[in-house]
Amino acid sequence: MTEIGVLTLDGGLSTALEGQGIALDGSMWTGELLLSNPEKVTAAHRSFVEAGADIIITGSYQLSFEGGLRAGWSDDDVERALRNSTTAARLATNEGTLVAASVGPFGAHRNDGSEFRGHYDVDDDVIHEYHDRRLDILLDTEPDLLALETMPDLTEVRILLDLIESKDVEMPFWVSFTVNAPGAISGGGTFAEACELVESSANAVAVGINCSPRAVVTPTLNSAITNLPFVVYPNAGQIWDSKSMSWAGTEEFATRRNIEEWVTAGARILGGCCGYDAFDIGRLREDQP
C-alpha cells in the first residue's frame, strides 16, 4: 500500500446515521438498520464516499449470533444482516472504492464496555466460536478486505489470525487495536508486540490504532518497528460510558499536525472512528500531506 500513497478511510458509521436523525439506542446499533432499513446505511456510507473516502467499513461490527440471541433475533436474522452489511456498503461505492468488512471484538456483544478492556474471563474456545461463524458469512459476501478492529488484547487477535489461516483464503486484512496509554494495548501488552504478531500473517496489509484518542497515536506508532504500513482512525477523544450507552467529554479531532506526524511515522490508511462524520473525513483528506 505504500506505493499508492495515503488512502482515506471513512468515519463513524453510527455518527453518520445519527446525523440523519436516526436514534441508535438498541443493543445491535447499526445492525438493526441492516435488517429494517439498509438503504439508510447505504446513504451513510455514501456520505463518506462523497467526502473522499477510498475505503468504507461495513456495519457488521456489532453483529454476532450471540448478540442477536440476546436481542431476540433468530440466526437467520443475524445472517441476513451480516450479508446486508456488505451489500449496503457495496451499493455506496464508486469505481475503485474498497469495502472492508468489519470484524469487531468479542466484548462488543456484551454492551458493557469490555470491548475496550479485553480479559473476558472465558475460554479461548468461546472466543473462537464467536468469530468462526461470522467470519464464514462475511468472507462469503466477498468484501475487498477485512477490518479486524477495536481489538483490546493480543489473545483475541491470535485466535482470529489462526482462524483466518485455517480457512485458507487469500483475503487481505488489517488489525487495529485500542490504546489507552502511549505504546500500550488497552487490554495489556505493547503495541510493538501487536505489530510483531500481525506482521507474522501473510495476508496482513496494515496494523494500527482505532477508537482511541489522538494524543496516544504518535507516541504509540513511534514505539514500534514494523514492515507493515500503519492504519490510524482515532475517535473524537471522548470516553465511552457503558451505563448511559453514550460518549462523554470534549471532542478533539485530528489536526493537520497530527496527520503529518502519523504519515511520517508510516501511516498509509487514515480516517476517523466514533465522532467523525463525513465533513470531518473531508477535512482530514484535505489535511493529508
Of 79, 62, 80, 86, the closest CA to residue 142 belongs to 86
Task: Average the pLDDT over 18-24 and give the result.
Answer: 81
| Segment holding 194, helix H or strand E | helix 191-199
pLDDT tens-place string over residues 218-242: 999 999 999 999 999 999 876 755 5
Q: Are 40 and 87 in contact (CB under 8 A)?
A: no
The predicted pLDDT at position 2 comes to: 37
Bridge partners of 171?
none
Taken in order of first residue, the domains within the chain and their CATH numbers are 2-287 (3.20.20.330)
* CB proximity list for 121: less than 8 A, separation 6 or greater: none
Per-residue pLDDT band at 246 (split at 50, 70, 90):
low
**What is the C-alpha to C-alpha distance for residues 82 and 157, in angstroms, rounded to an integer?**
21
The predicted pLDDT at position 25 comes to: 74
Whether the per-residue pLDDT at 164 is higher than 70: the answer is yes
The predicted pLDDT at position 174 comes to: 98
Per-residue pLDDT band at 251 (split at 50, 70, 90):
confident
Task: Average the pLDDT over 57-72 and give the result.
Answer: 94
Task: Average the pLDDT over 17-26 and give the result.
Answer: 80
**What is the C-alpha to C-alpha distance for residues 256 and 288, in angstroms, rounded to an integer?**
7
Task: Average the pLDDT over 258-267 and give the result.
Answer: 97
Whether the per-residue pLDDT at 4 is higher than 60: the answer is no
pLDDT tens-place string over residues 166-201: 998 999 999 999 999 999 999 999 999 999 999 999
pTM attached to this predicted model: 0.94
The predicted pLDDT at position 85 comes to: 98
Per-residue pLDDT band at 3 (split at 50, 70, 90):
very low
The predicted pLDDT at position 244 comes to: 55
Task: Average the pLDDT over 113-122 and give the result.
Answer: 87
C-alpha cell at 67: 448478540
Per-residue pLDDT band at 249 (split at 50, 70, 90):
low
CB half-sphere exposure, 187, CA atoms < 13 A = 23
Task: Average the pLDDT over 3-18 and give the result.
Answer: 88
Per-residue pLDDT band at 106 (split at 50, 70, 90):
very high
Of 118, 186, 128, 202, the closest CA to residue 158 belongs to 128
